[in-house]
């Protein structure tokens, strides 16, 4: 059975000690994982643990506020997809009936509408977002290398949004909260925490707490658990990367079910994900052997590609 590999980035992010061979090895390991099972655990990823913990803690305080306070920050398209999404507002799969999940989304462009009830929320989440950028730069270089692009900075160059928060991109940091399920009778049949789906962007960074429940569908069509490994983060592939790489990096399906174990049902689960997309105006077409294939017929801007996906899942 396929497993999710663990890759050590000790000599990766901002390291001056690593030898060229170490970088080559970890690039190859990441390429193999993302072109295979489509998920990889990274350890020594360079994102400070205290920043992760503080963002989780502030998120918890926010999600535990009464609903009438949280909906003041409701997400809508006019706010550049920034803000709070309440349970049931987003269905990730046409067959799903209800998804018991709440999120707060922070897009690439700066929108100043953060919960004033939780002063730490804005600063901790924005700091975590910033702390992810060196890792995203590294992964972007590894993608260019894997796709044998002549320009090793190809993905770096179409990620201006990381250095300029007025550049539009569908990239977004999302804090998720899966509330405890207190009374089974109120849960409609078929309800899940997060239905089977693929992400829309190129890569997703995923931080999870210790509760577990995330499952990944492997290429041999089996669900495997993405069991939390302390100190690690997960990275997975999305739809845009599958399209852009002509299927070399397939977008991996994943889901979060309601746990069968009674005790686990009654505990909230939290995760924080960073959906990585290029700048909206990046023209994307399938690449083959390092060059564009059939560009004339299939090209689309990255922003349009993401909007197509979003419109199919959100209820505004």
Residues forming contacts to ligand AKG in the complex (CB under 6 A) are 174, 176, 194, 199, 206, 208, 214, 254, 256, 271, 273
Beta bridge partners of 235: 40, 205
The interface region with Fe ion, picked from 48-56, 115-123, 197-205, 260-268 by CB under 5 A, is 197-205
Q: Which is nearer to ligand AKG, 158 or 271 (CB)?
A: 271
- Three-class secondary structure of residue 104 per DSSP: strand
- Three-class secondary structure of residue 65 per DSSP: coil
Q: Which is nearer to ligand AKG, 135 or 206 (CB)?
A: 206
Tokens of 294: 């059939």
Q: Which is nearer to Fe ion, 82 or 309 (CB)?
A: 309
Taking the complex as a whole, how short is the minimal distance between the CB of residue 314 and Fe ion, in angstroms? 14
CA distance to 84, 114, 177, 179, 194, per residue, from 64 (Å): 13, 15, 9, 9, 19
Q: Which is nearer to ligand AKG, 272 or 287 (CB)?
A: 272
233 binds, among Fe ion, ligand AKG, none (CB under 5 to 8 A by kind): none
Q: Could you say whether residue 99 binds Fe ion (CB under 5 A)?
A: no
Q: Which is nearer to ligand AKG, 55 or 273 (CB)?
A: 273
Q: Which is nearer to ligand AKG, 55 or 256 (CB)?
A: 256
Report the candidate in 239, 241, 238 with the shortest Cα–Cα distance to residue 155.
241
Q: Which is nearer to ligand AKG, 162 or 226 (CB)?
A: 226
Taking the complex as a whole, how short is the minimal distance between the CB of residue 178 and ligand AKG, in angstroms? 7
The interface region with Fe ion, picked from 73-81, 147-155, 193-201, 222-230 by CB under 5 A, is 193-201
Taking the complex as a whole, how short is the minimal distance between the CB of residue 213 and ligand AKG, in angstroms? 7
256 binds, among ligand AKG, Fe ion, none (CB under 5 to 8 A by kind): ligand AKG
CA 250 – CA 237 distance, rounded (Å) = 7
Given a contact cutoff of 8 angstroms between Cβ atoms, the answer to whether 177 and 60 are in contact is yes
Q: Which is nearer to Fe ion, 99 or 199 (CB)?
A: 199
Q: Which of 31, 90, 199, 279 binds Fe ion (CB under 5 A)?
A: 199
User: CA-CA-CA-CA torsion for 273, 95, 315, 100, nearest 10 degrees?
Assistant: -50
- Three-class secondary structure of residue 153 per DSSP: coil
100 binds, among Fe ion, ligand AKG, none (CB under 5 to 8 A by kind): none
26 binds, among ligand AKG, Fe ion, none (CB under 5 to 8 A by kind): none
Task: Please report the DSSP string for 222-284 in residue order.
Answer: -EEE----TT-EEEEEBHHHHHHTTTSSPPPPEEEPPPSSHHHHTS-EEEEEEEE--BTT-EE
**Token match 């993905």: residue?**
155
202 binds, among ligand AKG, Fe ion, none (CB under 5 to 8 A by kind): none
Residue 228: how many CB atoms within 10 A of its CB?
18
Task: Please report the DSSP string for 169-199 in residue order.
Answer: B--EEEEEEE-----GGGSPTT-BSEEEE-B
**176-204: b or e for each residue (b if 16 or more CB lie within 10 Å)?**
bbbeebeeeeebeeebbbbbbbbbbbbbb
Taking the complex as a whole, how short is the minimal distance between the CB of residue 17 and ligand AKG, in angstroms? 33
- Residue closest to Fe ion, measured at CB: 199
172 binds, among ligand AKG, Fe ion, none (CB under 5 to 8 A by kind): none
214 binds, among ligand AKG, Fe ion, none (CB under 5 to 8 A by kind): ligand AKG
Binding site for Fe ion (CB under 5 A): 199
């Amino acid at each position: 059975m396929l497993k999710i590999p663990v890759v050590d980035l000790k000599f990766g992010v901002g390291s001056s000690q690593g030898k060229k061979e170490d970088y080559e090895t970890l690039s190859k390991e990441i390429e193999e994982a993302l072109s295979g099972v489509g998920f990889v655990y990274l350890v020594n990823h360079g994102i400070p643990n205290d920043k992760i913990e503080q963002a989780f803690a502030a998120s918890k305080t926010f999600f535990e506020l009464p609903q009438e306070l949280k909906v003041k920050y409701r997400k809508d398209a006019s706010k550049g997809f920034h803000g709070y999404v309440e349970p049931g507002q987003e269905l990730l799969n046409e067959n799903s009936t209800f998804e018991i999940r709440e999120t707060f989304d922070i897009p690439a462009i700066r929108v100043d509408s953060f919960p004033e009830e939780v002063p730490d929320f804005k600063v901790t989440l924005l700091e975590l977002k910033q702390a992810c950028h060196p890792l995203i730069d590294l992964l972007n270089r590894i993608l260019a290398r894997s796709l044998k692009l002549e320009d090793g900075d190809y993905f770096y160059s179409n990620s201006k949004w990381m250095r300029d928060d007025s550049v539009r991109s569908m990239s977004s940091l999302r804090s998720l909260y899966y509330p405890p399920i207190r009374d089974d009778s109120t849960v409609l049949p078929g309800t899940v925490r997060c239905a089977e789906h693929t992400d829309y962007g190129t890569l997703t960074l995923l931080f999870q707490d210790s509760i577990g429940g995330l499952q990944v569908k492997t290429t041999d069509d089996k669900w495997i658990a993405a069991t939390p490994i302390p100190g690690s983060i997960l990275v997975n592939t999305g739809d845009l990367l599958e399209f852009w790489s002509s299927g070399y990096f397939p977008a991996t399906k994943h889901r979060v079910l309601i746990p069968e174990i009674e005790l686990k049902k009654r505990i909230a689960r939290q995760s924080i994900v960073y959906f990585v997309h290029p700048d909206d105006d990046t023209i994307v077409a399938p690449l083959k052997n390092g060059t564009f294939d059939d560009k004339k017929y299939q090209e689309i801007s990255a922003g349009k590609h993401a909007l197509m996906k979003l419109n199919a899942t959100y209820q505004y």
